[in-house]
Amino acid sequence: MIETTHISADLKQIAAKVKAGQRITDEEGLLLFNTASPGFVGSLANEIRERLHGHKVFFNRNFHIEPTNVCVFSCNFCAYSRLYAQREEGWELSIDQMLHLVKKYDGKPITEVHIVGGVHPKMNLQFFADLLKAIKAHRPELHIKAFTAVEYDYMFRKAKMSVEEGLRFLIEAGLNSIPGGGAEIFHPEIREKICADKVDAAGWLLIHETAHKLGLHSNATILYGHIEKFEHRIDHMRRLRELQDKTRGFNTFIPLKFRNKDNDMSHVPESTVVQDMKMYAIARIYLDNFPHIKAYWPMLGRQNAQLALSFGVDDIDGTIDDSTKIYSMAGSEEQTPSMTTTELVTLIKQAGRVPVERDTLYNEIKNYSHAGQEEKAGMN
């Protein structure tokens, strides 16, 4: 129940709309950011997530491959790039090396590999097609969620292929879906300041629209809590909501909290936990056509991810192993982000929710509502 005594008439009207299952406007979204308390937005967002998913919290069993941390771009928030020129720590994996990483999971009940990395000038479309083919030849049922729109934009332009041609080529090689990275903030006023040289909003949206048209699902992100204003967050989500109305191809929206260690924006303070929770909640309220809102725990930290489950979040990604470096290098809580299934299930249960293992496309694999201590031994 929302305590309504001190709530403005405008906020009461938003609450009434949300309860009636109606869409809120941009102005109303902005009003939530500017004037609503975390409790107010949290309660509304929770109502929506429970209407959609009851008490379920989804997770999957996945691992990451990062082919390289060498990148031709120079996003100011990135603690990961420019290693090429400045440090010794750059890496480039061969197809054999990446296949070796896949083989480490032989016999383990992993359902997804998430492949994403820097944009290396020498790793081209053919190289990545060969990688996908090699993975599928070894483990055909493994779902390959690979490459951000930033990587696609670069590899297709280099190969002189249209977005549709390039995506068809990679689908043929084994691509199954597209992660949500590279979106950052779409509005040009901010994009020019934080990541001027990579694909713009129109390019990012075109890649996802084309993927949806070709039958792939994808995710979307926002990098929030730095120099953007609330208007830019609403603008970003409006573009996604509009595309989703057209295609219905997005599965999940993932707000990514800006972390400020070791990058060119280290002077910019990070958002507070209360601000983070408001971001999740307002995303859940505004993006009425997105089935899922994900809290990416390696960046947010386990306890805050647990808290987010009361602010509209119904997904906490997967049992990632420590190959994910983009956040640990930018100062996230989780320096070696890995959680066993037992730990994930416990974390979700402690928040009063029902853990459900899913595959990448949200087909339910196992509901842990009744899973007890006796299952712990075999779950990892």
**How far apart are the C-alpha atoms of 343 and 349, rounded to whole Å?**
10
**How far apart are the C-alpha atoms of 245 and 148, rounded to whole Å?**
21
**How far apart are the C-alpha atoms of 241 and 334, rounded to whole Å?**
31
Judged by CB, which is closer to ligand V47: 71, or 285? 71
From ligand SF4, ligand V47, none, interface partner of 119 (C-beta below 5 to 8 A by class): ligand SF4
Judged by CB, which is closer to ligand V47: 40, or 59? 59
Sole binder of ligand V47 in the list 29, 182, 249, 255 (CB under 6 A): 182
Q: How many residues bind ligand V47 (CB under 6 A)?
A: 21
**How far apart are the C-alpha atoms of 42 and 93, rounded to whole Å?**
43
CA triple 45-51-53, angle to 5 deg: 95
Cβ 167 to ligand SF4 shortest distance, Å: 19
From ligand V47, ligand SF4, none, interface partner of 179 (C-beta below 5 to 8 A by class): ligand V47
From ligand SF4, ligand V47, none, interface partner of 43 (C-beta below 5 to 8 A by class): none
Sole binder of ligand V47 in the list 263, 310, 319, 328 (CB under 6 A): 263
From ligand SF4, ligand V47, none, interface partner of 198 (C-beta below 5 to 8 A by class): ligand SF4
| Sheet of 143-146, strands arranged across | 62-65, 112-115, 143-146, 177-178, 217-224, 250-257, 292-293
Q: For residue 363, give the 3-state DSSP assignment.
A: coil
Element (H, E) at 293: strand 292-293
**How far apart are the C-alpha atoms of 83 and 80, rounded to whole Å?**
7
- DSSP state letters, 238-264: HHHHHHHHHH--EEEEEEEE---TTST
From ligand SF4, ligand V47, none, interface partner of 316 (C-beta below 5 to 8 A by class): none
Cβ 299 to ligand V47 shortest distance, Å: 6
From ligand SF4, ligand V47, none, interface partner of 118 (C-beta below 5 to 8 A by class): ligand SF4
Sole binder of ligand V47 in the list 49, 82, 198, 259 (CB under 6 A): 259
Q: Which stretch binds ligand V47 (CB under 6 A): 95-103, 165-173, 215-223, 371-379?
A: 215-223
**How far apart are the C-alpha atoms of 131 and 108, rounded to whole Å?**
21
Sole binder of ligand V47 in the list 11, 30, 71, 79 (CB under 6 A): 79
Judged by CB, which is closer to ligand V47: 118, or 355? 118
Report in angstroms the alpha-carbon separations of 127 from 124, 130, 169, 206: 5, 5, 12, 23
**Residues 313, 318, 324, 326: what is their CA dihedral angle, to the nearest 10 degrees?**
-10
CA triple 33-34-40, angle to 5 deg: 60
Beta bridge partners of 53: none
Judged by CB, which is closer to ligand V47: 265, or 309? 265
Instruction: Check residue 184 for interaction with ligand V47 (CB under 6 A).
Output: yes
Instruction: Check residue 181 for interaction with ligand V47 (CB under 6 A).
Output: yes
Name the site residues for ligand SF4 (rule: CB under 6 A): 71, 73-75, 78, 80-81, 118-119, 150, 195, 198
From ligand V47, ligand SF4, none, interface partner of 221 (C-beta below 5 to 8 A by class): ligand V47
**Binding interface with ligand V47 (CB under 6 A):** 77-79, 179-182, 184, 219, 221, 223, 254, 256, 258-259, 263, 296, 299, 317, 326, 330
